[in-house]
Amino acid sequence: MSARAASAEVRYGPLVAALAALALVAALASLMVGYARLDVPAALADAFAGRSTAAAVVLEQIRLPRAALGAMVGFSLGLAGAALQGLLRNPLADPGVIGVSGGAAFGAVVVFYSGLAGAFALAMPLGGVAGAVVAALLLYALVGRGAGTMTLILAGVTVNSFAGALTALALNLSPNPYAAYEIMFWLMGSLADRSLPQLWLALPLTVVGWALLLASAPALDALTLGEDTAASLGFDLGRLRAQLVAGAALAVGAAVAVTGAIGFVGLVAPHLLRPLVGNRPGRLLLVSGLGGAIVLLVADVAVRLIPVHPELKLGVATALIGAPLLYSLIDRMRREA
């Protein structure tokens, strides 16, 4: 497999440029595609001229945040997936599979239904981040360094179901009697009818998370040589772990607080792109983030084109792609073992 991967390796600079261009095209497609017939050039002209026509409102307040959030959340999930996989040295470490997204959803739900979200604007993304941190720490305590796949998956199942149960408990305790019903629409993950303020709230936390994750690239490359070698090369592994857990929690937590838990993007993007960067986890980070953005934007365009009413949830679409992939990955690992 490593020989095949090596032969598939392409030059890093052009690869990043190509993926960035593809992500941009996907974001533009997301702006163009919608339910209502929208004259995009005319709406754009109205928007720049400051005329608040209905078309300009739709473009600025509905389509633009949807496309931008799709790119941001996809990048976060792809990047966090690649980083966690590098840290745990296991290709199955997806934020959704291992329970980080579930923890984030719990944090966001608690903040929202307790009414804290109304107290200050950043409360909901911060709640998502706090939930993601707790889940990541719990998981790391269980899995430790370089634990087997079985332990990782079982730990993920445990964290996920515990977070799910706590979410249900929080909903039961909320003052809104219909909370348990309406959360069904949210937990599956969606970008429908999100707004610009939600983007501005999530963006700063997300960018800090990205910076922490991307900065870990050299240490992740060193880690492939083994922990002792990495330590002898001068990398502080304790610091690396803290940096990656914090980075993943910030990026994934802020994303989940806005869109709900969208699974498998952090699994699919690194898996497809790993051979192209010669299995170097450091290089995989940025590439996988861009890949995640492309995957999520394309999935979000697809759910709007599929004639199903009401709209297919984005988390359902990514699961339809991702779950068979996870299955085949586990199957292959089982046979290789």
Binding of another protein by 35 (CB under 8 A): yes
Of 29, 142, 242, 311, which lies in the binding site for another protein, with binding defined by CB under 8 A?
311
Of 3, 310, 335, 337, which lies in the binding site for another protein, with binding defined by CB under 8 A?
310
Query: Residue 161 CB, nearest distance to another protein (Å)?
Result: 22
d(CA 248, CA 271): 18
Burial call 94-117: b when 16+ CB within 10 Å, e when fewer: bbbbbbbbbbbbbbbbbbbbbeeb
C-alpha distances (whole Å) from 55 to each of 38, 61, 62 are: 7, 10, 10
Within 10 Å of residue 160's Cβ, how many Cβ atoms? 23
CB-CB contact of 35 with 309 (8 Å): no
Using the structure block, give the residue that is written with the tokens 């699994």.
267
Binding of another protein by 252 (CB under 8 A): no
Of 75, 112, 235, 264, which lies in the binding site for another protein, with binding defined by CB under 8 A?
112
Q: Which is nearer to another protein, 14 or 307 (CB)?
A: 307
Of 13, 50, 175, 307, which lies in the binding site for another protein, with binding defined by CB under 8 A?
175
Instruction: Please tell me the total number of residues recorded for the chain in this structure.
Output: 337
Binding of another protein by 183 (CB under 8 A): yes
Query: Residue 116 CB, nearest distance to another protein (Å)?
Result: 9
Q: Which is nearer to another protein, 176 or 328 (CB)?
A: 176
Of 6, 10, 49, 118, which lies in the binding site for another protein, with binding defined by CB under 8 A?
118
Residues 320, 325, 330: CA angle, nearest 5 degrees: 135
Contacts with another protein by CB under 8 A lie at 34-38, 52, 54-55, 57-58, 61-63, 112-115, 117-118, 174-179, 181-183, 185-186, 192-193, 195-197, 309-311
